[in-house]
Each structure stands twice: as structure tokens, then as C-alpha cells.
Structure 1
Amino acid sequence: MLQDLDIASRKRGLKMNIKKTKVMADQSVKHKPIIINGTELEHVSENIYLGQRFTLTERNQDNEIRRRIKAGWQAFGKYSHIMKGNLPLCLTRKVYDQCILPSMTYASETWTLTIKMERKLAAAQHNMERSMLNITYKDHKTNRWIREQTKVQDIMEVIKHRKWTWAGHVTRRGDGRWSTLTTDGHRLTGKEQR
């Protein structure tokens, strides 16, 4: 199948990047090497594709949540001259909502969050808000008071809205796409393993 894809792509002037092409398969099944143009594709247990971590070995998304929080802090650091500067809070809020929050919520439509994960995301957001206001825990300000000052979008509300929007798109589609088939929940064959 990949050979056919490679041939069809070349006819259209496209070239498959062998270095970026990875193979993910169940580790319990012995797999044959996949060779494209004389180069064997690398077998991996996890891969980052379009900014999201895919793995077949883990069922929860703790590591993905940690990656997104880290991405949020990296974006916060990139704009630290704005976030911790003397600009009006209304401008700082816009930068936060448009640059930092999206980096933390990227691909959140597909997350299955636990209460623990929700708390981690909320805690990261509260810490960023404290940093925006140049206050620490020693100042004894509640999270509610901080939110009233910053007026940024709540990360959990953003994630819930994105999930509902995505669910609406998937529900309205009836053309048999993978996104619809994978969220439908019907097992094709076999018995569920516990």
C-alpha cells in the first residue's frame, strides 16, 4: 500500500520524506520491515505528528498534557517582555488568549481528561496569571480574585467548547471518514481484551 502511495505521489511530482515517515504497530505482533525505495522505515512506539504525541503503549494522556503545559510556558517565556511588562492588562490578556492559550489547548478536542489532568492545566494557568500580575503565593490572593483582575479565558471552558465543536463536526459528517469511524465506538472484529 505504501509502495502504491509512493508511486502515485511521484507521478504528481510529490516525494515521500523517508526520514519523517515512521511505522507504528502493536509491539506484541511480529512485523515485517517496510521498505520504500530501498530504505527501511523506522518502527517507533511513539511519534509526534502535527504537534500531538501518538503512542500505542499508553492509554492515558498524562505525557501529552505535560507537553502542552510545557508548550504554554515556552510561549509565555517567548512573550515574557509583554506578559511581565508594564503594558495595560487588556493587551496582556489579548496576547495570552491568542498566543499562549492556543499552545496549551492544541488538539484538546481529542483528549480524555481526568480530574487530575484538569487540575494540572488549571494550576498552570493560575501560575501564569499570577506571573502576569507580578504576584506570588505570599501575597495571599485567591484564584477568583486573580481571574477577576486578568479576565483571561478559563482553560477548561476553552477545552470543553472545542470538544463540543469537534463533536458537532463529526456528528454532521456522513461520508465515512476516519474521524467518524474512530469515534463511533463499534468494534469490527475480535473480543475485547482486559
Structure 2
Amino acid sequence: CRTEQRGQGHPITEHTGHLPYPPTRHDNDLRICTFNARTLASHENQAIFEEAIRGIRYDRDIKEHRTRVLLRAAEERKSLKKAKQSLSKNRTPMDAALGRTGDPITSRSGIEDRMQEFYTDLFRSEIHSVNRKKTQLMKNVWCTGPAVSLHGDDLVETDAYVYLGRELRCNGSIDSELLRRKRAAWGAFANIREVTSQLQDAKLRASLFDSHVLPALCYAAETWPLTKTTVSFIRRAHRALERALIGTTLFMQQKKNQSCADIRRISFLSDPIVHITRAKHRWAGHVLRRDDDRWSTRVTQQFPHPNLVRPRGRPPARWRDSIEEYAKMPYSTGRSTRSSSQRAPYQHWMTRARDRSNWKNCDPRGFA
């Protein structure tokens, strides 16, 4: 877990002028640790933390500080984009969580116990109204320890939950999410089926399908590892929708001895795997060009320790494997060519993704 400490050693009362860092709710020497977008606080400063949350001065201070930084950059004729990026870089790393006495906690079990104590005290406060029926706990196989209780009752453990329209599982499996995408695609197709069945223009019908059904089928697919099973499932689901669009069935297709390529020439639909590949390409560029130190960027750029040894057997497919497959080609366009005049020096795909124009030329499927 990554921890952060803000405000330690420089309380707001010690400054007479403007602060050189963005004001926070815990400038009164309140020590805060962040664990995966969750907040921990020491027990002694709990009342200060709750009182600071109730205040409305925080949002106004942030706005004033942001205005000062942008005005200073404009007066000095500096880049406003870099000034905005600097607003999120005032962070001081800390090595451990803090216990009730303020001493650092380095053990894993101690951190888990401290988190459980903090959330129990926090949810008992008046500022947090928690629906106990909807509050559940999800943890992976590496998370051990006692059950987390809320108001004396243990939280119910769950294996999956839906967040922003996507089902997340602690084991990383997307099998159930693929079934949800298939049902969502058929639901989106049912909404336009009455219109598409009366359209005679095949290209207009395909455009309507690609703008309504394809996004529902490939929602959040830029975060999937493209395994053979995933690719096969998406293709089968898309072909079934394609046959329903043109008014045929699998039996009629086999009876007429038509291939999938023949159906595609009739329907004029886009390939779903190409759609996913382009989405992953765009998403990889967005992630690696970020400067606000998000978890998605840190995890993407993480490399295993050189002393670690992989277990026996083929490793599971990773998210970056489908990108490295074409980005590692040492050519300017990403396509294989025999002409040596078009070859470019090899660059790692993460290096190329930080340059927007270079990353667009790297896409083997063409511009999105």
C-alpha cells in the first residue's frame, strides 16, 4: 500500500503569509495516511478530523490557492498546463501507518487491525450515515485476518461487485463480466431492432448498430487482457447479433454455405476486436501521459523484481501483451515492411506512448 503524509511539521498556524502548498483539511498537525483511496487518522486527532470535514473553508482555500498559482504562472509567462499539473504534486511519502500513539506501524497485521479500528470509529460518528444492509466486504486470497465488524456486526463478504457498470472480482476473472456485456448488447439491439428491420440502406443500418450495440458489447474492454477465450467469446456474441441484424440464422447460414466473411460483406459491420484494440491503444496513451501519480499509471509501469522467479507453466496473459505484440515492431508505422528506408530505431512502447503523435503512428490498425 502506498501511504502519504500531509501537513506534518508545518501546521497552518505557523505561517503568516500564503502557503507554498495546497491547503488541506488536516493542516493542524493532523497525520493522515491514504490506503487505496481510503483515509486513516490517528485516534487522538479524530475529533479534529471530523470538525475539519464539516467546515466549508476547505473548498474556498483550494480555489484561492489554485487561482494564485495560475495567476503567478500567467504573470511569469509560464505554461498554464504545467502549473495545473504542479497542483497535484505536493505530496510527501511516508513509510508506515501511524497507530493510536502516533508511532509507525510496519507489520501487515498491525495495519489491518488499525484500519478496522479506524473505520469502526469513523462509521459510528454522526457525520457518516452508512447503510448496513448494502455495506459488504471483498478481499482476495492474500488478505487474511479477523472479520471486519461495523457496529458490532461482521460485514458480509462478497466475491464481486459492480462499479461504474462493470463487475469487478477479487480473483481478476472477467467471465461473468463477459456474460453481462453479452446481455447488455442484446438489450441495446432490442431498442433499435424495430428501426433496423425497416432500413434498406445497409451502411446506415451498420452505422446505427456500431454506435449503439458495439459500445455496449465492448464497454470497459480497454481494461481487459485479450486472451484467446475472451476474443472467441466476443466474436461469437457479435456474429449472433450480426445474423439477427440481417435477418438470418446460423442454420440458414450453414444451409447456404456462407462463411463469416460473407456475412460481414452483407452487414458492413465493424470488427469488435479491432474496436477493442483501438480502445486499448488510446487508453494506454492516456494512462502513460498522466502526471498526477495515479494507481493505474503506477501499476502499468511496474516491473517485477529481478530476483523473483516465475512459477512453472505458461504465465497468464497480461493487459500489456496485446499492445507489446505490435508496438515492439521497430518500424515507424508498426507494420512489418521489407523496406529498410522506413525503419526507425527501436523504442519501448511506454516511451512511445508518452509522445502523442508517435503513439498514433504506432497503431497498426490505423487511426481511431
> How big is each residue's C-alpha offset from its partner over 1:25-76, in whole Å with a ceiling of 9 and x where there is no partner?
23551244253x888754322111111111113x432222222122111211
TM-superposed CA distance for 1:163, in Å, is 0.3
Q: 1:148 aligns with which of 258, 265, 278?
A: 265
- Aligned residue among 151, 158, 169 for 1:44: 158
Instruction: Give a deviation string over 1:75-106, Cα, whole Å, max 9, x none.
Output: 112322123x1213233212211110000111
Out of 90, 93, 100, the residue aligned to residue 206 of structure 2 is: 93
The alpha-carbon deviation at position 121 of structure 1 amounts to 0.8
- Structure 1 SS opposite 2:183: helix
Judged with a 3 Å threshold, the aligned counterparts in structure 2 of structure 1 residues 115 and 39 are, in CA distance, closer, same or farther, namely same
Q: Are residues 17 and 94 of structure 1, via their aligned partners in 2, closer, same or farther at CA, if it must alter by over 3 Å?
A: farther
Quote the Cα distance in structure 2 between the aligned partners of 1:10 and 1:39.
26
Structure 1 position 110, deviation (Å): 0.7
The structure-2 alpha-carbon separation of the partners of 1:92 and 1:40, relative to structure 1 and needing over 3 Å to count, comes to: farther
1:134 pairs with one of 243, 247, 251: 247
**Secondary structure class of the residue paired with 1:91:** helix
Tell me the residue number matched to 1:30. Answer: 145
Task: Give 1:174's aligned amino acid.
Answer: D
- SS of residue matched to 2:168: strand
Question: Which residue identity lines up with residue 55 of structure 1 in the other structure?
Answer: R
- Cα distance, 1:79–1:17 mapped onto 2, change above 3 Å: farther
Q: CA deviation at 1:155?
A: 0.2
For 1:23 and 1:121, how far apart are their aligned partners in 2? 31
Q: Percent of counterpart pairs with the same letter?
A: 28
What is the letter of the counterpart of residue 148 of structure 2?
P
| Structure 2 portions without partners, runs of 5+ | 1-37, 42-48, 57-126, 312-368
Q: Identify unmatched segments of 5+ residues in structure 1.
A: none
Which residue does the alignment assign to 2:121? none
Could you say what secondary structure the match of 2:161 adopts? strand
Change (3 A) 1:140 1:22: same
Name the larger-Rg structure: 2
> What SS does structure 2 have at the residue aligned with 1:79?
helix
Q: Is the 8 A contact 2:243 2:263 kept in 1?
A: yes
1:174 Cα deviation after fit? 2.7
- Measured in 2, the distance between the counterparts of 1:62 and 1:12 equals 45
Q: Does 1:179 align with 2:296?
A: yes
Residue 225 of structure 2 aligns to a residue in which SS? Answer: coil
1:112 aligns with 225
Match of 1:56 among 166, 170, 174: 170
Count of aligned residue pairs for this structure pair: 188
How does the TM-score come out when normalised to structure 2? 0.44
Matched with 1:11 is 54
Decide which moves more: 170-179 or 136-145.
Answer: 136-145
What's the counterpart of residue 64 of structure 2? none
Counterpart amino acid of residue 195 in structure 2: I
Distance 1:107-1:17 versus aligned 2 partners, 3 A rule: farther
2: distance between equivalents of 1:178 and 1:52?
A: 18
Is contact 1:61–1:112 with CA below 8 Å preserved after alignment? no
Question: What is the TM-score normalised by the length of structure 1?
Answer: 0.79
SS of residue in 1 equivalent to 2:167: strand
Deviation of residue 107 (structure 1)? 0.5
Whole-Å Cα distance in 2 between the matches of residues 9 and 133 of structure 1?
A: 61
CA distance in 2, matches of 1:92, 1:122: 19
Cα-to-partner distance string for 1:122-176 (whole Å, 9 max, x where unaligned): 1211121111111222333221121112211110000000001000011111321
Bigger fraction of residues in helix = 1
Secondary structure of the structure 2 residue equivalent to 1:112: coil
CA contact (8 A) 2:147 2:155 kept: no
**Change in CA separation of 1:21 and 1:143 when aligned onto 2, cut-off 3 Å:** same
Distance 1:185 1:45 in 2: 26
Any idea what SS the aligned residue of 1:29 has? Answer: coil
